[in-house]
Amino acid sequence: MVKVVSEKLLTLPQVAEILAKEAEKRELSSVEAVTLEYARKFSKVDSEGAEKLFEELVELGLPGEIAAQIVNVMPRTEDEVRVLLAPLSRGFTGEEVKTILDRVNAYRRRS
């Protein structure tokens, strides 16, 4: 049985990068292979961009879990951003939502 020694929030592009590197070293299990395929299919930004965007969103005060979901979804509208922010007890101003969307759009253009 595998022992978990640490945990870290990852975005889909980061998962894809990790599994792709593992695939170069060894044959992936069926679960790992399906996960790699899924992560590649639904990643909307490269791993480096995902990590930078994640860090910027956390610096804006978002919890890591929400920042990771924003990176994974890469929302296109302010309403989509609001849906991802909905689980938080804190309300966000229109300007804050626009700032988040602007950051997302800056990385979308690079991908």
Counting residues of the chain whose pLDDT is more than 90, the rounded percentage is 86
**What would the two tokens of residue 22 be?**
């593992």
pLDDT level of residue 76 (50, 70, 90 thresholds): very high
Residue 11's contacts (CB-CB under 8 Å, 6 or more residues apart) are 43, 47, 50, 51, 54, 68, 71, 72
pLDDT level of residue 111 (50, 70, 90 thresholds): very low
**What would the two tokens of residue 68 be?**
């990771």
Q: Could you give phi then psi for residue 60, rounded to 5 degrees? A: -75, -5
The predicted model gives 6-32 an average pLDDT of 95
- All structural domains of the chain, each given as residue ranges with its CATH number in brackets, are 12-42 (no CATH), 47-110 (1.10.150.80)
Counting residues of the chain whose pLDDT is more than 70, the rounded percentage is 97
Q: For residue 41, give the amino acid letter.
A: K
- Summarised one tens digit per residue, pLDDT across range 87-96 is 998 889 999 9
Q: What is the pLDDT of residue 41?
A: 95
Query: Average model confidence (pLDDT) for the chain?
Result: 93
> What three-state secondary structure class fits 97?
helix
Q: Is pTM, for the whole model, over 0.85? A: yes
- Give how far Cα 86 sits from Cα of 21, 48, 57, 71, Å: 35, 27, 16, 16
